[in-house]
A and B are shown apart, each in its own frame.
Chain A
Amino acid sequence: QVQLQESGPGLVKPSETLSLTCNVSGGSVSSYSWSWIRQPPGKGLECIGYIYYSGSTNYNPSLKSRVTISVDTSKNQFFLKLSSVTAADTAIYYCARYEGRAYGVDVWGQGTTVTVSS
């Protein structure tokens, strides 16, 4: 079955760009839609955005100006870039497979903790 694994720096300095990779195994990244979701310490879930198999994207309006989600089909990976980070971006970041509006998010990575601090 499909498995997801996030990777990237655990510490990012304020004003810099957070970059994460999600490695997809057991399935093709070109067959589904993919998402990034985050969870600040002790708080709830927040959708950052998602990318359809067609390549089109949908971003959380509150983050839209700072977010880019992309896919590399040759490496079976997808990516998150979040620019101009502040301490408020400190969170666990999850990559996940998005099955569509009728089906929700059915496969999640284990999550990776990103701290924004100088």
Chain B
Amino acid sequence: QSVLTQPPSVSGAPGQRVTISCTGSSSNIGAGYDVHWYQQLPGTAPKLLIYGNTNRPSGVPNRFSGSKSDTSASLAITGLQAEDEADYYCQSYDSRLSGSWVFGGGTKLTVL
């Protein structure tokens, strides 16, 4: 059972918009800790996709965006492409775990 809750799967057709939610609590996201998002393509290491709730590292397309509100965060992907099919993880920190990292359980994105 992950501290951060993500839907196990989402899907969308090419060109569509999808969102992935990450729900936490008052000891993690709700405490003001930053949320980061990672993309893991099949058989590869994760890659930083969004940092500090809303920021994209250099090279990440602006089709990817992040937001945060209260005790949850969301990753939005617009103009869905086949290459976006991957697992997506949110990550934050939790004061009840001495500030340790916590990950969401991951969401499998399928491009139909």
Chain A interface residues toward B at CB < 8 A: 44-47, 50, 58-61, 94, 99, 101-106, 108-111
B84 at the interface (CB under 8 A from A): no
| Contact status B100-A94, CB under 8 Å | no
CB-nearest residue of chain B to A4: B45
Chain B interface residues toward A at CB < 8 A: 2, 33-34, 36, 38, 44-48, 51-52, 57, 89, 91, 93, 97-106
A58 to B46, CA, bound (A): 21
| Contact status A61-B46, CB under 8 Å | no
Q: A45-B46, A104-B36, A110-B45 are in contact. Are A61 and B103 (CB under 8 A)?
A: no
Of B44, B51, B98, B99, which is within 8 A of A104 by CB?
B51
| Contact status A102-B2, CB under 8 Å | no
Q: Which of B34, B45, B98 has the most CB of A within 10 A?
A: B45
Of B47, B91, B99, B100, which is within 8 A of A108 by CB?
B47
